[in-house]
């Protein structure tokens, strides 16, 4: 009898537990979705899909769906189960998108209840023109990333003219020079681009040290060769054409650059106004500010990864440091990129006799330093602004991140 009562008690406890569990996930209501009914978007440009999802017990996931755009994204929220979720999702509108497209948004609650909403995207052609670049001082423009291309300013008096001002690096920058192309969208290199018309480029613009057979990058990329700025004229006009076979690199078969034929300057530092004429397909480049003469200093930083300076392992472009005491040199608030490398030179016309670095390459500035041609650079793992002090008296370096 006791055994039966014991089993009955266990059964009742189990039923009670199940009842409590069901009560905990009892979900009688559907999620609420608040979003704009229509949005204006542009072909080939990024759009923001924005909405607010809410439910008294929590949102389990959100689903975004537009099959013609290959949009099928589920955002899982099971770990957080927020009662309110603010969606701000970036998506590139296809360059061949139709004039209208319905984006389906679905919210699922903790109990499995769903609500659907539709946002109508009205699609128009882009009126934007972008300068796609590489090795531009102080600009986060990267040749393999069109989304970092620079939006050019459209003329108020001539809708075919677009312009911007950029600064070229000197001495080849990271080895590829300052490269330019024009894009009609920031999501890729097609459908519209404008690249240098190699066959019709004035031979006077050829940089004879780096043109065609003299260009050792020709087979490693799609570079036709470098041009040299016409300093005597103060400006130059480059014929441009579309490159229909431009493509995103396949890292297994292509080099790390887009298959996009760029206009490239190897060693023409300075600030330039770049004007693109969409009607005539011409690019006009005018110098607005010549490079400043090197600042005389007792110590310089050399290396790579300093966005505010035209410095890429070049003594001539050494970043000057301030002498704060005898044998002590400093620089404050220096912008440094992740992956940057740094050494010190006591002159800006050669690598010797003062070539300061570390015994071993790494990210620890307290490692022993030495003055030798085979000294190693210091590496930076994190981007940011740094204060740097170098002391030749005790051969130490202090690096402080702001």
67: β partners: none
38 pLDDT above the threshold of 50: yes
Kindly report the CATH class assigned to 130-289.
mainly beta
Cα–Cα distances in angstroms (integers) from residue 340 to residues 29, 215, 347, in the given order: 54, 27, 21
What residue segments make up the domains of the chain, in order of their start? 32-124, 130-289, 300-401
237 pLDDT above the threshold of 50: yes
374 pLDDT above the threshold of 70: yes
Q: What is the pLDDT of residue 37?
A: 95
Q: What is the pLDDT of residue 222?
A: 53
What is the CATH code for 300-401? Answer: 2.60.40.3620
Question: Which residue would you say has higher pLDDT here, 227 or 367?
Answer: 367
Q: What is the pLDDT of residue 139?
A: 81
Task: Dump pLDDT digits (tens) for 146-166.
Answer: 888 999 999 999 999 999 999
Spatial distance between the Cα atoms of 57 and 307, rounded to a whole number of angstroms:
48
Task: Dump pLDDT digits (tens) for 81-97.
Answer: 999 999 999 998 988 89
Q: What is the pLDDT of residue 3?
A: 47
389 pLDDT above the threshold of 90: yes
| Mean pLDDT in residue range 94-106 | 93
Q: What is the pLDDT of residue 166?
A: 95
Q: Which two structure tokens, joined as six digits, stand for 180?
A: 């330019």
Q: What is the pLDDT of residue 249?
A: 55
Tally Cβ neighbours within 10 Å of residue 341.
17
7 pLDDT above the threshold of 90: no
CA distance between the termini of the chain: 77
Task: Dump pLDDT digits (tens) for 166-209.
Answer: 999 887 777 778 989 999 988 888 888 999 888 888 888 888 77
Q: To the nearest whole percent, how much of the chain has pLDDT over 90?
A: 59
Task: Dump pLDDT digits (tens) for 295-334.
Answer: 788 999 999 999 888 788 989 889 999 999 999 999 999 9
The answer to whether 32-124 and 300-401 have equal CATH topology is yes
Q: How confident is the model at residue 350 (pLDDT cuts 50, 70, 90)?
A: very high
Q: What is the pLDDT of residue 211?
A: 60
Assign domain 32-124 one CATH number from 2.60.40.4140, 2.40.50.140, 3.30.70.260, 2.40.50.180. Answer: 2.60.40.4140
Tally Cβ neighbours within 10 Å of residue 223.
23
- State residue 13 phi and psi, 5-degree precision: -65, -40
Q: Which two structure tokens, joined as six digits, stand for 49?
A: 């899909």
Tally Cβ neighbours within 10 Å of residue 128.
17
237: β partners: 284
Task: Dump pLDDT digits (tens) for 123-142.
Answer: 998 889 999 998 898 887 77
Question: Which residue would you say has higher pLDDT here, 110 or 255?
Answer: 110
The candidate with the shortest Cα–Cα distance to 300, out of 351, 345, 332, 355, is: 345
What are the start-end ranges of the E strands in 113-266?
114-124, 130-134, 150-151, 153-154, 161-168, 178-183, 193-196, 206-211, 225-227, 235-241, 263-265
């Amino acid at each position: 009898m006791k055994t039966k009562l014991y089993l009955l008690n266990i059964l009742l406890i189990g039923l009670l537990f199940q009842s409590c569990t069901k009560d905990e996930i009892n979900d009688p209501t559907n999620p609420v979705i608040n979003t704009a009914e229509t949005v204006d978007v542009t072909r080939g440009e990024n759009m923001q899909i924005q909405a607010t999802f809410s439910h008294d017990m929590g949102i389990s996931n959100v689903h975004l769906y537009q099959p013609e755009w290959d949009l099928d994204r589920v955002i899982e929220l099971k770990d957080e189960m927020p009662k309110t979720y603010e969606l701000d999702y970036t998506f590139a509108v296809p360059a061949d998108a139709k004039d209208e497209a319905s984006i389906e948004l679905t919210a699922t609650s903790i109990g499995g209840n769903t609500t659907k909403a539709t946002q109508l995207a009205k699609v128009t052609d882009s009126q934007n023109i972008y300068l796609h670049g590489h090795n531009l001082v102080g600009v986060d423009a990267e040749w393999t990333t069109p989304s970092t291309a620079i939006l050019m300013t459209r003329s108020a008096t001539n809708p075919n003219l677009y312009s911007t001002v950029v600064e070229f690096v000197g001495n080849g920058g990271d080895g590829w020079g300052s490269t330019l192309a024009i894009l009609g969208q920031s999501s890729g290199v097609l459908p519209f681009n404008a690249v240098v018309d190699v066959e019709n480029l004035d031979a006077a613009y050829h940089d004879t040290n780096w043109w065609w057979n003299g260009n050792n990058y020709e087979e490693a990329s799609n570079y036709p060769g470098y041009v040299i700025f016409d300093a005597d004229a103060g400006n130059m006009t480059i014929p441009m054409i579309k490159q229909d076979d431009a493509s995103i690199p396949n890292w297994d078969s292509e080099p790390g650059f887009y298959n996009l034929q760029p206009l490239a300057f190897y060693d023409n530092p300075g600030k330039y106004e770049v004007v693109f004429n969409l009607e005539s397909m011409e690019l006009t480049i005018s110098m607005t500010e010549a490079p400043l003469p090197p600042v005389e200093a007792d110590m310089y930083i050399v290396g790579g990864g300093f966005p505010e300076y035209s410095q890429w392992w070049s003594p001539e472009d050494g970043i000057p440091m301030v002498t704060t005491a005898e044998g002590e040199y400093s620089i404050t608030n220096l912008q440094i990129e992740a992956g940057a490398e740094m050494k010190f030179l006591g002159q800006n016309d050669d690598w010797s006799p003062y070539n300061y670095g570390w015994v071993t390459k790494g990210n620890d500035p307290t490692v022993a330093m030495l003055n030798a041609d085979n000294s190693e650079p210091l590496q930076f793992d994190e981007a940011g602004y740094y204060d740097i002090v170098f002391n030749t008296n005790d051969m130490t370096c202090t690096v402080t991140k702001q």
